[in-house]
Chain A
């Protein structure tokens, strides 16, 4: 049960690019406070403090193993599914609410915080059923409401024109890029506040990648988007803020323009310019 929420996050990147200032207790705001995370005895995140601006795109970048995907998966508690994985200190607040308290319904949390993975993972069902699935699980039974939500989600994911005449066809018949957009549509159907994207374009060709990136720009008007990417150009093109991680620590968090033109930290500079290692 979502209860009264505390104030909006105070620690923000140098100059947040979000066009509108975050109102207090914005349901789309994410505040990560002094977060430590461990797999068993192995601590992988160290004291992460990060305020993610609502309705903007935040890119998490850093070398493999730096903890960015782990952090992303903390935001909708996907790590709960891994034995021994746990937050050992700190909190993550979504719209002011600590998402790791017992009263939080994890299923409801994952509805509000959708996730898109590196490899598209549509259900082996029709295009229509892929979108309708989450709604049915949420108890929506009226055909008209489901039809409306399917169309709205597919339109929002820029997939409606390509699929409206074959909604009953298997989702697996779609191209890789279309499948990825279908997964985004599936997440949108249940009206999330936040969409997490874990390298969503790494398996796509440049055209499909451009479509997803264009989609991200449209979605950020309504959703908070956090994207993990190894593609520096993609982070530069898509995101408003960028956070650079190294060895489980947040090294620098600033507007993307600042990070890619004049980062404050030497480690950030070395990483984005390809001098690491």
Chain B
């Protein structure tokens, strides 16, 4: 149920503005990540450079959101669900900025890869990219819609992403042993896989904050318990 409006309209306005800024930042971070990965997979230096350059905007927005959040705490001294929303928004902000940082790292690795002949193994990253991006989108979606179940489910998917990263790492290590000439290229791919794995971690953090905001429950550092649909899917 949609919460009623505050008697103090400026409080609602400040909360709305904070949320809109975060959504804008989420959109930018997602775009940067997409650009960076497309830059790697399509061997497009311009997209890689764009992901790196646009990080500046995300950084500025991060500072703006932190300022706005602190000012909101100062002026309105929110409590209960309002307090949880503001605190989780500030934390979400930090995770979004780090996701954009991962995009920068991927973009840099991409530019290095693009200087050399294409490696077919770059395709190993695609399933990881798809999972990381979908986790990212859904974590923000869970935060926006205060969807606790969606948020909880992301913890389990992070395990899958971790496993994919391990498998990619193993496969690339084997390739390195067989073809040491491509060692640098394979290492760059491993770093990119690691970045995507980190995106999953940030998405999980966002999901945990979404649960805290919506249900006042702290699910950090708890083992993931599979939900009924997850158990059925696994069976």
Contacts and interface: CB of A to CB of B under 8 A. Distances in A.
Interface of A: 232-233, 236, 259-263, 269-270, 272-277
B235 interface: no
B68 interface: no
Given A272-B80, A275-B7, 15 more contacts: A260-B80, A261-B79, A261-B80, A261-B84, A262-B80, A262-B81, A262-B84, A273-B3, A273-B78, A274-B6, A274-B7, A274-B11, A275-B4, A275-B6, A277-B7
- Main SS of the interface on chain B? loop
Interface in B33-90: 77-84
Interface in B1-43: 3-8, 11
Contacts of B77: 232-233
Contact of A272 (B5, B79, B84): B79
A173 B82 CA distance: 44
B7 A276 contact: yes
Nearest to B82: A273
B216 interface: yes
8 contacts: A260-B79, A261-B84, A270-B4, A274-B6, A274-B11, A275-B3, A276-B7, A277-B7
B6 A263 contact: no
A236 B4 contact: no
Given A261-B84, A262-B216, A232 B6 contact: no
List the 4 closest pairs (A to B, CB-CB), nearest first: A262-B216, A275-B4, A260-B79, A274-B6
Contacts of A263: 80
A261 B83 contact: yes
Contacts of B82: 273
Contacts of A272: 79-80
Nearest to B1: A266
Contacts of A262: 80-81, 84, 216
A275 B5 contact: yes
A232 B8 CA distance: 15
Q: How large is the interface on B (under 10, 10 to 19, 20 to 34, 35 or more residues)?
A: 10 to 19
A3 B11 CA distance: 54
Contacts of B79: 232, 236, 260-261, 272-273
Given A261-B216, A262-B216, A273 B8 contact: no
Most buried by B among A233, A261, A262, A270: A262
B65 to A, nearest CB: 21
B108 to A, nearest CB: 42
A272 B81 CA distance: 10
Contacts of A277: 7
Contacts of B3: 273, 275
A274 to B, nearest CB: 5
Contact of B81 (A233, A259, A273): A273
A182 B11 CA distance: 39
Nearest to A260: B79
Contacts of A260: 79-80, 83
Nearest to A263: B80
Interface in B132-153: none
Nearest to A258: B216
Contacts of B80: 259-263, 269, 272-273
A25 B83 CA distance: 39
Contacts of A270: 4
Contacts of A261: 79-80, 83-84, 216
Contacts of A233: 77
A99 to B, nearest CB: 34
Contacts of B7: 274-277
Interface in B84-107: 84
